[in-house]
A and B are shown apart, each in its own frame.
Chain A
């Protein structure tokens, strides 16, 4: 049984491969790259398309358990493979929280049953995400947690953050921070600035993120801890991360596609589908994130996929829930970075494959021989218009509805099995 992907432009950053060749798969594993000369039982003609490792999204909110009407593990997995994502990490702000091994195991078990994606939980730093007492990180890690975060909420109090960084780093665990000083952002629903002033709504100043990142870096320095900034959104935070890395600290950052492609202008006319936390910022911030992606300060692209039911969005900007879905738009939106020559295609793919894999010690993100055959094939030129009613996610909250995107996933292969092909899921 050989599955052959013929004549695609193969990008495998981990192995510095960036050339047109064949990829063949046997028994669910990568069997070889190069010129295939045997007999294949199935062939995918990838001429004119890119072939890369299945994408990894290290920042996804599944709503299971607790809010399955917004998204569950199955619908989230379907959205993921439709977006070329074969591995993702789910955040702990479910109900109940992922702050106990039992819940974690339940999620992992459910994801295995669904079987479309590799799902790795990120467990809570503090019990019930309250920012007071630490979770049992060692046990959570044994149960499968790949990192720790209170995402959705910051680890707000400096004392707790210090202990969290010290404790986690004692065992090599990484802490992911949703950097937001709630004292500065409370009541806010968008970036604070000219746009929020015109709309007459409470803003969330960039300083809310900057000051939290600055504080955390100081604490991470003292603790010699691994600290990762989730969904970085401000020029100030990017500069802080860059400086920390220059200093040799174990500080990393991820950026979400909406933060490097859109600005606060999207919120004009009170568009609740452009409301997320951290909010869309200014053009200056957007450019700083592009620069961070270019110079490597930001090593990962992750979506912060945050599904919400329409009822939670249709209630006026100030009342609407924070967040947008992102799994199905991650690749086309990010491809702009390559087409605009911000970074090379190989660097771009790295930020969605091998870089997060290395950060989280995942056994994926490459096309090395013998690895599980998780592969994404996409047409980088294909233009299409996003219709939110056609999303595989259970939720529809996207700012890209009705917009033309360039680049579309044609095939997603997980463990050698074609799970998504030309718009259709094969479970």
Chain B
């Protein structure tokens, strides 16, 4: 029996909890493959997706996950929410919590938003759907499920390429790697690496080609093109693709067994070449499918064992 109160990040989970969520997620993959894609698990549960940052895919993934388990799902995006009218994050959170949802799924550009909100919203479970450059736990669980389905993650080398400094996916993977027994190799120029990142115990390389041999997964991070050039982190998209883009040649150097992953949405021709994204090595659409299953698992774990109270 396992009950999660909140899911803020990989940092708050232990190995057993992660394995449990992966098991649950694995079992839930099938629900989305049936003629009738709905199980009654979360009947009568209310889930609010509160997205301060645009993210069609993560929001849709959570929405479908909730709906496939029969929960009532409400989406609130920043463009329609009261924050545009000057209402504070806290007021928005408290207002929604007063409507008594079981789960609040939050995406925000400020790191720590979920922890912050949880201090003031009692009785509402909060799921982090990505907070600033901090954590994105459901994406990492998704990736681990995808790797498990592809043969396992233990002792594998996952080479993460791109803007690590601003990547919540990168940080969550670095935390999960230690817990779950895989290795992370970071590939980026110094301008895109956060301070003292080596303290996570990962390998660091500035040379993508040199980092490819021995990699079991090439994990390409999305490049925020405007962020890259505006603050002098990189001179041009062209040079980025040349130095850190995954192309056919690099994929060939990685060898047959090496998988290609991407948390999406992809910039084809920037961090990943189109033919690579569509190649047999890519597990990018599997990640999307497993994302729904993992989010179903997370919502189930959050809603279970509430002592029967509404």
Chain A residues engaging chain B, CB cutoff 8 angstroms = 192-194, 196-201, 203, 205, 269-270, 311, 314-319
Contact = CB atoms under 8 A, between A and B. Distances in A.
Contacts of A192: 195
Nearest to B132: A200
Interface of B is mostly: mixed
A316 B195 contact: no
| Residue of A198, A199, A316 most packed against chain B (CB within 10 A) | A316
B232 to A, nearest CB: 11
Contact of A315 (B11, B90, B134): B90
Contacts of A198: 11, 171
A4 to B, nearest CB: 50
User: Considering the complex of A and B, which 3 residue pairs feature the smallest CB-CB distances, nearest first?
Assistant: A200-B134, A270-B112, A200-B133
B33 interface: no
A212 to B, nearest CB: 19
Contacts of B116: 270, 314, 316-317
A197 B135 CA distance: 11
Contacts of B90: 314-315
A314 B93 CA distance: 12
B195 A196 contact: yes
Interface of B: 11, 88-90, 108, 110-113, 115-116, 120, 131-135, 168, 171, 194-197, 199
Contacts, number: 65
Nearest to B165: A197
Contacts of A270: 111-112, 115-116
Interface of A is mostly: loop
B199 A194 contact: yes
A200 B111 CA distance: 6
B197 to A, nearest CB: 6
A296 to B, nearest CB: 32
A205 B165 CA distance: 14
B134 A199 contact: yes
A316 B194 contact: no
Contacts of A197: 171, 194-197, 199
Given A315-B90, A318-B111, 15 more contacts: A196-B194, A197-B194, A197-B197, A198-B11, A200-B168, A201-B111, A201-B134, A269-B112, A269-B115, A270-B112, A316-B111, A317-B112, A317-B116, A319-B89, A319-B110
Nearest to B171: A200
Contacts of A311: 88
Contacts of A196: 194-195
A181 to B, nearest CB: 15
Nearest to A198: B171
B109 to A, nearest CB: 8
B88 A199 contact: no
Nearest to A317: B112
Contact of B112 (A193, A194, A314, A316): A316
Contacts of B120: 314
B204 to A, nearest CB: 13
B88 to A, nearest CB: 6
Nearest to B113: A316
Nearest to A267: B112
Given A193-B195, A194-B199, A196-B195, A317 B111 contact: yes
Contact of B195 (A194, A315, A317, A319): A194
A290 to B, nearest CB: 23
A199 B195 contact: no
Contacts of B171: 197-198, 200
B101 to A, nearest CB: 21
Contacts of A203: 195
29 contacts: A193-B195, A194-B195, A194-B196, A194-B199, A196-B195, A197-B171, A197-B195, A197-B196, A197-B197, A197-B199, A198-B171, A199-B111, A200-B132, A200-B171, A201-B134, A269-B112, A270-B115, A311-B88, A314-B88, A315-B90, A316-B89, A316-B108, A316-B111, A316-B113, A316-B116, A317-B110, A318-B110, A318-B111, A318-B132
A127 B133 CA distance: 37
Contacts of B134: 199-201
A199 B112 CA distance: 7
A197 B11 CA distance: 13
